[in-house]
Structure 1
C-alpha cells in the first residue's frame, strides 16, 4: 500500500509539473507573439482568457463525468487533445487561429492536468493526510516553472516559439497519456443524488463563499503571473532578469505548496491562509515600490512574498471544500469550483492587459488585482466547515 501511494503521488507530481509548464509559460509566449505579430497584449491575453474560460465552463460537466465513467480514459483523451492543441498553435498566423487552437481546443484538453481532477483522485487514496498529498502533487507546477521557464525562454529565443510550442505538445502527450491510462487511480464513483451534483447539503453562504474565493484568488494570481515579465520590462528590468524573477517565484511556490499542505494538516487551513493574506499585503507593497520608486530590494522580496501569498491557494481551497462535501461528490464540487477558478483565470489576465493598454501602465491594474486578492482572503474565512462523512 505504501509503494502504491508513492507511485500514485509521483505520477500526480509529474502531471502537475506538466500543468505548471502549460500555465506559466504563457508569459513567455506573450512577449514572443507580440514581437512577431505586433498584436496587442489585450488580444493575446484574451486567448489565454479563452483557454481558461473554456476549461472552466466545461469543468462542472467533466467533473461529473469523472465520477460516473472511466476517469482514466477521459483524462488520457483530454491529454491527447491538449497536446494536439499545442501542435496546432505552433502553426498559427492570425489572432483568430491562435484563439481557436490555443483558446478553444487547448481549453477543452487541459482538464488532463487540472488540479481539481488530480485532487479528487488523491483524496480517495490518501485519507489521513490529504492536504499534504495534494500539496506535494501541486508543488510540481512550481518546480516546473523554476526549472522550465529559463529553458523555454532559451528555446523561444534560439529555436523559435513555434518549435517550443510543438515540443511542449509532444512532451505533454508522452507523459500525461500513459500516466492517466496506467498509473493514476480512477476517481471514486458517485452514487445517489448528493453525489450526482455534489451540492446537496451545502448552505448558500458556503457555496457563494467557495465560488467567490476561487474566482478572486485565481483572477489575482493569474493576472499577476501573466503580466509580471512585461511589467518588469516596462520598468527597465532587462528581459533575462525578469525571466529569472518569475522563475524564482516558481521555486518559492514549489516550496510553499509543500509546506502549506503539511501545515494545513497540522494546524488547519485557516491559520495557513492567514499567513498567505499577510504575504499578499507585502506582495502588493513590493509592486508599488517597483512601480513608484524602482526599488531594487523590492525585486528581491517580490518572488518570496508572491509565492507564499498565492502558491498554496488551490490546496487550501480544495482541502476546505473536502470538509463540507462527501468524498464521492468531491470531483463534481471541485468541477463547479473550477468553473469559478477558470472564470478568474480568464478575467484576471484580460483585465490586467486591458487596464495596461487603457492607462498606459500597470498602476490601475495592480490596484484592481489587489482588491480581488482581498476578496479572496475574506471570503475564504466565510466558508463554513463541517466534517462530511467519507463514502
Structure 2
C-alpha cells in the first residue's frame, strides 16, 4: 500500500446545510490510541534492519459530520480531523523515531448499534530523526529525507460504552516515504494494531437519513494533469539532479454505489529524468511512457481515494524490470467538477514518485 497524501486536505465538507438543519452542530471528538506492530522487509537487503516491533501512541481531534449535506455526499456519517502520532521504530541507532501530523477522513460503515465499524484514510507530514547516511547509517535505505510523508489506512471495531465514551480496536497499515524526491527511498511499510478510547463532550444521536441523491449506475469521464520533479541519482562524475515529469491521464468512472466506483483509463507521461539517466548511460532511449490503468474509487463526500493497477503499454527506457505498477490517488473536489490532489506511484512495495495533480469530471 502506498497511497499518498499532502496538505491539500483542507476540510471534509463545507459547513452549513441546504436542508434546513443549520441548528445542528457537528459534535467534537477527542481521542487517544496506542500502537504496536512490525516492519515488512520487502527486499532482501532490508531483512536484518526490519527485525523490530515499532510502537507508538496518538492523540487526535475531530468533528463528526452529521448534517444532511454531509450525509448526502456518501450516505454515511464520517469523522474528519487531525491526529499527532509518535512512532518509536525500536531501533534507535538506525531507524530512530517518527513524529507525524496526519489529516484523516473516517466514514462509519455502521452506526446505529453499540458495536459499529469504521474505515480511516489519512495522510500527512512526518519528521524522522534517523535517516540514511552513506557513512554513519548506510543500512537504512527505507528513507533518506528527515521531512517525508506518512500515509495510512485502517479498519476499526468500535464499541460505544456510553453516549460520550467509545472504545476501539484498530488494524492499521502505515507507509513512510518521501515519494522518490531523494534516494534511497525504499519506503517503510509497517502494519500496527491498536487500542483506543474517544470522548465526545456533546454527542448527537445518529439516525439513518433518506438518500437525497444517487449516482448508482452512472458514468463520469475524467481528465487529469499531473507533475513532479523526480531525482536523477549522482554518479562519480555528475551530481544528482531534479528533472520535470509531466503527464496526462483520462478515462471513465462507473458508480456501483454513491461511494464505490470502478475506473478504466490511460495515462501519458513525459519524464525528463529518464532522458537524463539515459544520456548519462550513453543511450538515447525515448523518455515517454504509456500506461493502461484499472482501479477502484472510494468516494466520501468531496474526497476520492483511488487505487489503480497499471500496465506499461509503452516503456522504451528500462528504468524498471516491472511490467505493472500501482497508483494510489487522493483527490479533493472543488465545486462540482474540478479536483486537486496527489498520487503515489509504486512498483510492489517500493515507491517511485509522488506527484501533484489537477483534474476535471465531465
Query: What TM-score range do you get, normalising by the shorter chain?
Result: under 0.3
> Normalized against structure 1, the TM-score is what?
0.24
Q: Which has the larger radius of gyration?
A: 2
Which structure has the higher relative contact order (CA within 8 Å, separation 6+)? Answer: 1
More strand by share: 2
More helix by share: 1
